[in-house]
């Protein structure tokens, strides 16, 4: 079974802090993704990475950055946390190719509160 | 741009009732379609997927979905729900660009509550 592990289930930080969310997958997947999940808005893609050191902006990248130094690890960084970044953050990984029919595999999520 | 629309935000059913959750997408090309489920306190997991062939797709736990190309729809169905089906359900679509990435567009989700 694919395992996507997010470092924290719950996190509380203060406005202006730099926040790191870590994600590790154990299936050698090329693609990794960061989403945020908000009630009534579903999942929105923040950033994704299709290879080590490669990244692309998703739909809502403002206020975030990412790092992928190793294939199995994908980090989301909130440069200066703000209260509107309070949300559930989901990491996912997936394979490449096969006409795109591979599903993504999700972690348990990190519920981040910015005070 | 691709988009996914889930018509029902909240659905409340009694056990043994039949379920149909609507999903429509906007994309003119070949698509791959997915339904994910998130049980309370658990991670998102794949329920079923469609990429080609038989438009009626069977998934886990008795769920099925039908791809109707002319209607741009991929509705999720279950003939008889159980209390354990209480969860949030997400429809997702990926345009088949043949590219390297596996980027999905998700709907806003439908919260299903099944009353015992």
* CATH number of domain containing A75: 2.60.40.10
What is the structure's pLDDT at A111?
96
A47 inside domain: yes
Q: What is the pLDDT of residue B31?
A: 82
- Render pLDDT for B87-101 as a digit per residue (tens, 0 to 9): 999 999 886 555 545
Closest CA to A12 of A74, A61, A67, A81: A81
A101 within domain boundaries: no
Q: Domain of residue A48: give its range.
A: 4-96+107-111
Confidence of residue B2 (pLDDT cuts 50, 70, 90): confident
| Shortest Cα–Cα distance, A15 to chain B (Å) | 27
- The answer to whether residue B54 neighbours chain A at the CB level (below 8 Å) is no
Contact B43 A102 (CB under 8 A): no
Nearest CA distance, B20 vs chain A (angstrom): 19
B46 contacts on A by Cβ (under 8 Å): 103
B32-87: pLDDT as tens digits? 899 999 999 899 999 999 988 899 999 999 999 999 999 999 999 999 999 999 99
In a domain, A16, yes or no: yes
CATH number at B39 reads 2.60.40.10
Which of A40, A45, A90 is the closest to B103 by Cβ? A45
Q: What domain range is B73 assigned to?
A: 3-115
By C-alpha distance, the chain B residue nearest A37 is B108
Q: What is the dihedral of CA B91, A2, A94, B26, to 10 degrees?
A: -10
The residue ranges of chain A whose pLDDT is under 50 are none
To the nearest whole angstrom, how far is the Cα of B45 from the nearest Cα of chain A?
Answer: 7
All residues at 6 or more sequence positions from A75 whose CB lies less than 8 Å from its CB, including other chains: A20, A21, A22, A23, A66, A67, A68
Cβ contact, residue pair A101, B32, below 8 Å: yes
- Would A57 be classed as within a structural domain? yes
Domain count, chain A: 1
CB-based contact, B9 to chain A, within 8 Å:
yes
Residue A8 lies in a domain: yes
What is the domain count for chain B? 1
Chain B CB contacts of A95 under 8 Å are 102
Q: What is the pLDDT of residue A95?
A: 80
For residue range B3-32, list pLDDT tens digits in order.
Answer: 899 988 999 999 999 999 999 998 767 788
Residue keyed to tokens 């070949």: B30
Structure-model confidence comparison of residues B72 and B2, the more confident one: B72
Q: Which residues contact A63 (CB under 8 A, 6 or more apart)?
A: A78, A79, A80, A82, A85
């Amino acid at each position: 079974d694919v395992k996507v592990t997010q470092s924290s289930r719950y996190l509380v930080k203060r406005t202006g802090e730099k926040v790191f969310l870590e994600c590790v997958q154990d299936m050698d997947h090329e693609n990794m993704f960061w989403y945020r999940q908000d009630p009534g808005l579903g999942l929105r893609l923040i950033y994704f990475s299709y290879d080590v050191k490669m990244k692309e902006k998703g739909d809502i990248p403002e206020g975030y950055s990412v790092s992928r130094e190793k294939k199995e690890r994908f980090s989301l960084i909130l440069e200066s946390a703000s209260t509107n970044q309070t949300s559930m953050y989901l990491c996912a990984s997936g394979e490449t190719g096969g006409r795109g029919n591979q599903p993504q595999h999700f972690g348990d999520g990190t519920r981040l509160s910015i005070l | 741009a691709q988009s996914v629309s889930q018509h029902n935000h909240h659905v409340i059913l009694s056990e043994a009732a039949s379920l149909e959750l609507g999903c429509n997408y906007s994309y003119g090309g070949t698509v791959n379609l997915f339904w994910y489920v998130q049980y309370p306190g658990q991670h998102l997991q794949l329920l079923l997927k469609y990429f080609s062939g038989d438009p009626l797709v069977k998934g886990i736990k008795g769920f099925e979905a039908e791809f109707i190309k002319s209607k741009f729809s991929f509705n999720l169905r279950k003939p008889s729900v159980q209390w354990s089906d209480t969860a949030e359900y997400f429809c997702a679509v990926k345009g088949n660009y043949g590219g390297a990435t596996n980027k999905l567009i998700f709907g806003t989700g439908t919260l299903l509550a099944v009353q015992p």
